[in-house]
């Protein structure tokens, strides 16, 4: 019992710290994105002026904030799925299926992490550059292994929770639209 | 043989609620490793390519603006404004519903919040107006599904991205078909309310001016989005940049509906929505690329050509198929899964890809209402605490009208394409 509680708190605590960092990143990223995109449009249309690094930076920001958003979607079980047959299951059958789905998702995420890592290793051997900001493409791609790593941990810890009969993760609840 | 087993297992996993990006990811990895026998790293190369699509940025920016609008008091102002101007007409309140819902759906990116956000305001209003309960349920559930074809709804952007069609063209092409669906429901609603003796609002000039003044900062929004694109001033991505910035200034700094302390939560909410869509897009692009490499769309094309002798037969079957898909899947994954396979076939039958987009979206939005599993039937059932069976019967007249509208939109392509041509949108 004590061990179970310890595992639960360890997993939940780590996940919570990750969520805080991810949320902070998203918040800053989206603000830079909103302001920079606006400045670029106004500059281009009114003053025929844009930052030449602006568009590339925006693209990277969309990718990064989007993928971190996807990682948070996993934390909050908000991934898009079809889910027609789960409604037919109840009780222990639903729990078993949930375990299998989380385990499978965790394994696939690890494979995606490996694929991402292979890509980065390849690109580091023959680096290509994003010309306007003079950074190698692989450094923009680093988001893939990071996010797939976090996502796989989330799926696997969900599977572990179900296996040990522990309560499901309780992320800070996002209040629904109030009105 | 092993491929068939793997495909069957993946479909089963998908139906049991496995996130779709995992399904696409698994399919791509399997295909690359076992069938194409190339390094699996190329799955990620395709994901990165997504970021090189110029108008990808429109998705987070419009979604962010939509979440801000949904959290503000904009829904109330929108309802007040349409009530002041249309409430005095016969069946006025139903017209209010049919104007407010689609606009709200389009602005919030069609993420399924309309019935929850606006239903809470409109349902009691209709009830006070002494409209019959069953009719109210049917109206709100159906109207809450409309709006997918009005800019800047996300499904239009996602279709453009997947099918490689100009988003600006889609924004314009959806207008007339979108209005047709609204009018179809409008005519029925007004006739129904004329049958029963329902009191109407009285039009007062004072009321109109006051509601106009209250919403004065939000009224320019459609003009910014549509006007800019129609006039060729800016692209969809640029319209998104202006909209996001403008909505922030208006809702947070001018109306002060949203406190600064709420912003982190709303931003996170928006990006969770964006992320869940983006990761599917990324994974699906990898899968599509694999399918194209294996010439699957070509094989499908040959098969379909043998199966259907004419364009009309193909369109008819496509409609039925998409209605079923639309009732089973949410609109984003349906677009991502089906479009890459069907688009080449449709083009070989001489269907314009822009028109095809509008056919897709009309079908999928009607799918929201199609029994037994259309998602909006369940959302309404929860929101208004009514049994789902009651919603099936309540929505049937509306569903029939929308199906007629779908027939017209499908078989008269000029309804979608003429305006694009007239406006000269590129």
pLDDT tens for each residue of B149-172: 998 898 999 999 889 899 999 999
Q: List the one residue out of B43, B45, B19 whose CA is nearest residue B275.
A: B19
Confidence of residue B406 (pLDDT cuts 50, 70, 90): very high
User: Distance between CA atoms of B198 and A5, rounded to whole angstroms?
Assistant: 61
Query: What's the N-to-C CA distance of chain A in angstroms?
Result: 42
Maximum distance among all alpha carbons in chain B?
74
Mutate to test the interface with A, among B279, B327, B372, B382 (most CBs of A within 10 A): B279
Asked if residue B196 lies in contact with residue B132, where contact means CB atoms within 8 angstroms, the answer is: yes
Please tell me which of A60-64, B53-57, B70-74 the model is most confident about, judged by mean pLDDT.
Answer: A60-64
**Percent of chain B's residues with pLDDT above 90:** 41
Q: Is B39 on the interface with A (CB under 8 A)?
A: yes
Distances (CA, A) of B85 to B61, B122, B194, B223, B378: 31, 16, 19, 19, 32
C-alpha Rg value of chain B to the nearest Å: 22
Tokens of B418: 């003429």
Asked if residue B244 lies in contact with residue B65, where contact means CB atoms within 8 angstroms, the answer is: yes
> pLDDT value at position A106?
97
Q: What are phi and psi of A67, to 5 degrees?
A: -70, -35
Asked if residue B225 has pLDDT above 70, the reply is yes
Asked if residue B301 lies in contact with residue B292, where contact means CB atoms within 8 angstroms, the answer is: no
CA B14 to chain centre: 22
Mutate to test the interface with B, among A85, A149, A179 (most CBs of B within 10 A): A179
Tokens of B301: 């094309």
Confidence of residue B338 (pLDDT cuts 50, 70, 90): confident
For residues A14, A19, A22, A23, the Cα torsion angle rounded to the nearest 10 degrees is -150
The vertex-B58 CA angle with B57 and B63, nearest 5°, equals 110
Count the Cβ atoms, other than its own, within 10 Å of residue A20: 11
Contact between chains at A115 and B40 (C-beta distance less than 8 A) = yes
The residue length of chain B stands at 426
CA distance B400 to chain A (A): 25
Asked if residue B21 lies in contact with residue A78, where contact means CB atoms within 8 angstroms, the answer is: no
> pLDDT value at position A173?
47
Q: What are phi and psi of B304, to 5 degrees?
A: -65, -35
Q: List the one residue out of B180, B168, B174 whose CA is nearest residue B227.
A: B168
Residues 334-373, chain B, touching A (beta carbon < 8 A): 373
Asked if residue B199 has pLDDT above 60, the reply is yes
Q: What are phi and psi of A122, to 5 degrees?
A: -60, -45
Name residues whose C-beta falls within 8 Å of residue B138's C-beta, 6 or more positions apart in sequence.
Answer: B391, B394, B395, B396, B397, B398
Minimum-distance CB partner of A122 among B21, B41, B56: B41
Average the pLDDT over A46-58 and give the result.
Answer: 88
Asked if residue A132 lies in contact with residue A53, where contact means CB atoms within 8 angstroms, the answer is: yes
Please tell me which of A88-92, B28-32, B296-300 the model is most confident about, judged by mean pLDDT.
Answer: B28-32
Considering only CB atoms, which chain B residues are within 8 Å of A144?
44, 47-48
Within B131-174, residue ranges assigned H as helices are 133-143, 154-163, 167-173
User: Distance between CA atoms of A177 and B124, rounded to whole angstroms?
Assistant: 18
Count the Cβ atoms, other than its own, within 10 Å of residue B220: 12
Q: What are phi and psi of B209, to 5 degrees?
A: -65, -40
Bridge-based pairing state of the strands A129-130 and A135-136: antiparallel
Asked if residue B264 lies in contact with residue B307, where contact means CB atoms within 8 angstroms, the answer is: no
Residues 40-99, chain A, touching B (beta carbon < 8 A): 40-41, 44-45, 55, 58-60, 62-63, 65-74, 76, 78-86, 97-98
Q: Is B423 on the interface with A (CB under 8 A)?
A: no
Within B260-310, residue ranges assigned H as helices are 263-293, 296-307
> pLDDT value at position B110?
65
What ipTM score was computed for the predicted complex, to two decimals?
A: 0.91
Confidence of residue A178 (pLDDT cuts 50, 70, 90): very low
Between B13 and B327, the higher pLDDT residue = B13
Asked if residue A177 has pLDDT above 70, the reply is no
User: Distance between CA atoms of B253 and B186, rounded to whole angstroms?
Assistant: 36
Confidence of residue B307 (pLDDT cuts 50, 70, 90): confident
Asked if residue B189 has pLDDT above 70, the reply is yes
> pLDDT value at position A176?
42
> pLDDT value at position A179?
30
Contact between chains at A115 and B329 (C-beta distance less than 8 A) = no
CA distance A135 to chain B (A): 15
Q: Which helix (H) or strand (E) holds A136?
A: strand A135-136
User: Distance between CA atoms of B274 and B270, rounded to whole angstroms?
Assistant: 6
Asked if residue B392 has pLDDT above 60, the reply is yes
Distances (CA, A) of B170 to A156, B166, B175: 41, 7, 9
Asked if residue B305 lies in contact with residue B348, where contact means CB atoms within 8 angstroms, the answer is: yes
Q: What are phi and psi of B85, to 5 degrees?
A: -90, -30
User: Quick one: B322 exposed, middle or buried, by C-beta within 10 A (0-12, 13-18, 19+)?
Assistant: buried
Minimum-distance CB partner of B275 among A70, A97, A140: A70
Asked if residue B184 lies in contact with residue B209, where contact means CB atoms within 8 angstroms, the answer is: no
The average confidence (pLDDT) of chain B is: 89
With DSSP H G I counted as helix, E B as strand and the rest as coil, what are the percentages for chain B, rounded to 5? 80, 0, 20
Contact between chains at A69 and B15 (C-beta distance less than 8 A) = no
Minimum-distance CB partner of A76 among B264, B270, B272: B272
Asked if residue B228 has pLDDT above 90, the reply is no
Asked if residue B326 lies in contact with residue B365, where contact means CB atoms within 8 angstroms, the answer is: yes
> pLDDT value at position A36?
95
> pLDDT value at position A169?
64
User: Distance between CA atoms of A76 and A70, rounded to whole angstroms?
Assistant: 10
Considering only CB atoms, which chain A residues are within 8 Å of B113?
177
Three-state secondary-structure class, residue A132: coil
Residues 388-417, chain B, touching A (beta carbon < 8 A): none
The vertex-A66 CA angle with A62 and A71, nearest 5°, equals 155
User: Quick one: A42 exposed, middle or buried, by C-beta within 10 A (0-12, 13-18, 19+)?
Assistant: middle
For residues B149, B151, B155, B159, the Cα torsion angle rounded to the nearest 10 degrees is 90
Asked if residue A58 lies in contact with residue A139, where contact means CB atoms within 8 angstroms, the answer is: no
Reported pTM? 0.89
> pLDDT value at position A85?
76
Asked if residue B366 has pLDDT above 70, the reply is yes
Cis peptide before B177 (omega within 30 of 0): no
User: Distance between CA atoms of A56 and A134, rounded to whole angstroms?
Assistant: 10
Ranking A57-61, B113-117, B259-263 by mean pLDDT, the lowest is B113-117
Cis peptide before A121 (omega within 30 of 0): no
> pLDDT value at position B111?
60
Q: Which helix (H) or strand (E) holds A130?
A: strand A129-130
């Amino acid at each position: 019992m004590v061990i179970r509680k310890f595992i639960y708190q360890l997993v939940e605590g780590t996940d919570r710290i990750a969520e805080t960092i991810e949320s902070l990143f998203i918040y800053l990223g989206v603000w830079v994105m909103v302001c920079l995109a606006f400045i670029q449009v106004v500059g281009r249309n009114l003053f025929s002026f844009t930052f030449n690094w602006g568009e590339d930076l925006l693209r990277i920001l969309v990718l990064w904030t989007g993928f971190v958003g996807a990682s948070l979607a996993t934390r909050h079980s908000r991934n898009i799925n079809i889910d027609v047959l789960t409604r037919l299951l109840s009780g222990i059958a639903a729990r078993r299926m949930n375990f299998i789905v989380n385990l499978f998702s965790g394994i696939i995420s690890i494979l995606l992490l490996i694929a991402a890592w292979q890509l980065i290793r390849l690109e580091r051997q023959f680096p290509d550059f994003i010309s306007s900001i003079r950074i190698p493409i692989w450094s923009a791609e680093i988001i893939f292994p990071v996010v797939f790593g976090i996502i796989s941990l989330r799926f696997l810890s969900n599977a572990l929770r179900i296996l040990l009969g522990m309560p499901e993760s309780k992320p800070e609840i996002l209040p629904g639209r109030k009105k | 043989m092993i491929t068939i087993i793997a495909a069957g297992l993946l479909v089963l996993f998908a139906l049991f609620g496995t996130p779709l990006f995992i399904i696409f990811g698994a399919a791509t990895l399997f295909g690359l490793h076992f069938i194409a026998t190339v390094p699996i790293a190329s799955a990620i190369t395709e994901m990165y390519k997504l970021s090189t699509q110029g108008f990808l940025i429109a998705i987070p920016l419009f979604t962010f603006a939509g979440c801000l609008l949904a959290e503000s008091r904009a829904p109330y102002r929108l309802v007040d404004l349409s009530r002041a101007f249309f409430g005095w007409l016969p069946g006025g309140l139903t017209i209010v519903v049919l104007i407010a819902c689609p606009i709200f759906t389009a602005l919030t990116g069609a993420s399924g919040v309309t019935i929850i956000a606006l239903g809470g305001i409109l349902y009691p209003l209709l009830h006070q107006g002494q409209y019959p309960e069953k009719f109210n349920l049917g109206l709100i559930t159906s109207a809450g599904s409309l709006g997918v074809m009005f800019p800047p709804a996300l499904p239009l952007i996602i279709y453009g991205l997947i099918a490689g069609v100009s988003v600006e063209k889609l924004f314009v092409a959806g207008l007339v078909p979108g209005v047709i669906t609204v009018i179809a429901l409008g005519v029925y609603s007004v006739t129904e309310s004329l049958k029963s003796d329902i009191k109407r609002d009285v039009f007062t000039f004072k009321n109109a001016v006051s509601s106009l003044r209250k919403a004065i900062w939000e009224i320019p929004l459609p003009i910014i989005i549509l006007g800019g694109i129609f006039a060729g001033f800016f692209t969809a991505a640029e319209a998104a940049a202006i909209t996001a910035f403008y909505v922030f200034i208006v809702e947070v700094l001018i109306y002060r509906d949203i406190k600064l302390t709420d912003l982190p939560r709303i931003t996170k909410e928006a990006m969770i929505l964006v992320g869940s869509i983006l990761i599917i897009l990324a994974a699906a692009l990898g899968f599509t690329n694999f399918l194209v490499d294996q010439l699957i769309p070509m094989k499908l094309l040959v098969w379909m050509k043998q199966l259907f002798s004419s364009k009309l037969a193909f369109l008819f079957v496509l409609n039925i198929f998409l209605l079923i898909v639309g009732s089973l899947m949410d609109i984003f994954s349906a677009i991502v899964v089906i479009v890459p396979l069907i688009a080449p076939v449709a083009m070989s039958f001489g269907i314009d890809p822009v028109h095809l987009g509008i056919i897709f979206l009309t079908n999928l939005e009607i799918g929201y209402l199609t029994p037994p599993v259309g998602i909006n039937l369940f959302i309404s059932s929860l929101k208004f605490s009514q049994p789902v069976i009651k919603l099936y019967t309540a929505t049937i007249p509306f569903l029939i009208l929308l199906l007629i509208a779908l027939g017209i939109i499908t078989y008269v392509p000029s309804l979608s394409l003429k305006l694009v041509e007239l406006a000269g949108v590129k």
